[in-house]
Amino acid sequence: MTILLILVFLAGLAAILILLREIRAKNMHIWLRDYIRQQPRPTHEGPTHVMFCFVDHFEPRWSQADYETEVRRVDRWFQGYPALARKHQDADGCHPKHCFYYPEEEYRKEHLDKIESLCRDGFGEIEIHLHHDNDTDAGLREKLSRFTKDLHNTHGALSTWPDSDQLAWGFVHGNWALDNSEPDGSNCGINNELIVLKEEGCYADFTLPSAPGATQTAKINSIYYAKDDPQQPKSHNQGRDVIVGGKPWGDLMIVQGPLMLNWKNRKWGLLPRIENSDIRAGYPPTPDRIDLWVKAGIHVHGRPDWIFIKAHTHGTQDCDMDTLLGEPVDAMFRELEDRYNDGETFILHYVSTREMYNIIKAAEAGKTGNPNDFRDYVLPPPANCGGSS
C-alpha cells in the first residue's frame, strides 16, 4: 500500500512539473493570473450586439517571396475574397469587412491598387502594419509619415481626425513587438513607441493578443488606454479600462482580441490549448472557438450588451489561404450568422477596425441602442471606402 501511495504521489508530482513547464514554455505565467481573476461579463436586459472584426497581417512578401509569388498571393485575395464575402451579411446588411494591415516595408503600388479596389467595392479597409528593428524615434516617424501619406494620396486609404487634416489609422506591430516588448529588444528598439504612434495619428493599436509569445501583456481581454513610459519597454502591459462616461487617458487605446483557454481542445488529452483568436489552416475557426470569442465578452465597462471580437490572421501565407478563402472561414461566417444573429439574444455587426473604434468611443460617451448608428461616430470613412454593403 505504501508503495502504491508513493507511486501515486510521484505521478501527481510529475503531472504538476509538466504543467508548470508547459506554463513557462507558453509564457502563460505572464497572463494567467489575469485570466483566473477575470469576471464574467455582467448580465443585461435585451440582446447582445456582437461586433466582429477580422484583422489581417497582410504580407505579400512573406518568407522573402519572389515578385511572381507576391503577385499570385495578392491576386488570390483580389479574385477570391469578393465571392466569399458576398455570401454573408450581418444584421445591418453589411458584408464581412476585411482589414488589410499592409506592411510599410513591403509597399508596392500595384498590390495596393488591387486592395484599394476591394475596399471601393465595400469589402474592407486598409490600415498600417510595420516590421522594424533597432529603430529610432525619428526613423519611426519618417516611416509612418511617408507610408500614411502614400496610402492616402495614392490609394484613398485612411481616415482623418475631425478637428484637423491629420491622417487617422489603426496599427498592428510586426512580430508582435509593440513598444519594444520583446525581452531581447529585437523587432522594435523604441521605448516611446506608444507616444510616437499617437502623435503621428494612430487611433488605436490592434496587435494583441500575441500569446504564446513573450510580447503578450499581463492585461487580457480588454479595451484600455495605455500610458507610455519612455524609459521602459512594454508600457501597455497594464492600463486603464475604457468605461462608459470616462475620458481618454495616457497615450494610446489598446483593443485586444480574445485570449482564452480551450478545454475542448487539449494537449495530450489533459492540458487546455491557448485560444488566441488566430485563424489559420492548423487552427481553423471551429464553433467551439467562436463560442470562446463570445464568452470572452470584451466590452467597454458599463456597456456589457456591446461586445467586440477581433480575430486575426496572416492572409498571404500560402498554407493558410485555402482556409481563409475557402470552406473553414465560410463556415465561420455561417456560424456567426446562424447562432449569433437571431435578433433576440444576439445581433451581429461586421465591422472594420475604424468602425470598431468609433463604436467603442460611442460607448465611452454613453451612447446606447444600435451600434450600427455609430460606425462613423468619430472618424469618417476613408475616400476609398465603398460603403456598408
pLDDT per position as a tens digit, 308-340: 999 999 999 999 999 999 999 999 999 999 999
Q: How many CA atoms lie within 13 A of 217 on its CB side?
A: 28
CATH code where residue 137 lies? 3.20.20.370
**Cell 495619428 belongs to residue:** 201
Which band of pLDDT confidence, cut at 50, 70 and 90, is reported for residue 278?
A: very high
Give the cell for residue 153.
Answer: 494620396
Residue count of the chain: 389
Would you state the pLDDT for residue 39?
87
Burial class of 137 by CB neighbour count within 10 A (0 to 12, 13 to 18, 19+): middle
The reply to whether 297 falls in a domain is: yes
Which band of pLDDT confidence, cut at 50, 70 and 90, is reported for residue 389?
A: very low
Which tens digit of pLDDT belongs to each residue from 212-233?
A: 999 999 999 999 999 999 999 9
The reply to whether 189 falls in a domain is: yes
What residues make up the domain containing 132?
A: 31-374
Which band of pLDDT confidence, cut at 50, 70 and 90, is reported for residue 386?
A: confident
> Quick one: which of 63, 57, 119, 51 has its CA closest to 324?
57
Would you state the pLDDT for residue 2?
76
The reply to whether 355 falls in a domain is: yes
Which band of pLDDT confidence, cut at 50, 70 and 90, is reported for residue 15?
A: low
The reply to whether 3 falls in a domain is: no
How many structural domains does the chain have? 1
The reply to whether 281 falls in a domain is: yes
CA distance 238 to 217: 7
CA distance 42 to 303: 9
The reply to whether 18 falls in a domain is: no
Crossing angle of helices 109-120 and 67-85, in 10° steps, is: 0
Give the cell for residue 186.
Answer: 529585437
Alpha helices in the chain (DSSP H): 2-25, 32-37, 67-85, 109-120, 137-155, 193-200, 287-296, 321-324, 327-339, 353-364
- Model pTM score: 0.94
As a three-state string, the secondary structure of 10-70 is HHHHHHHHHHHHHHHHCCHHHCHHHHHHCCCCCCCCCCEEEEEEEEEECCCCCCCCCHHHH
Which tens digit of pLDDT belongs to each residue from 59-84?
A: 999 999 999 999 999 999 999 999 99
Name the pairing type of β-strands 202-205 and 271-275.
unpaired
The reply to whether 17 falls in a domain is: no
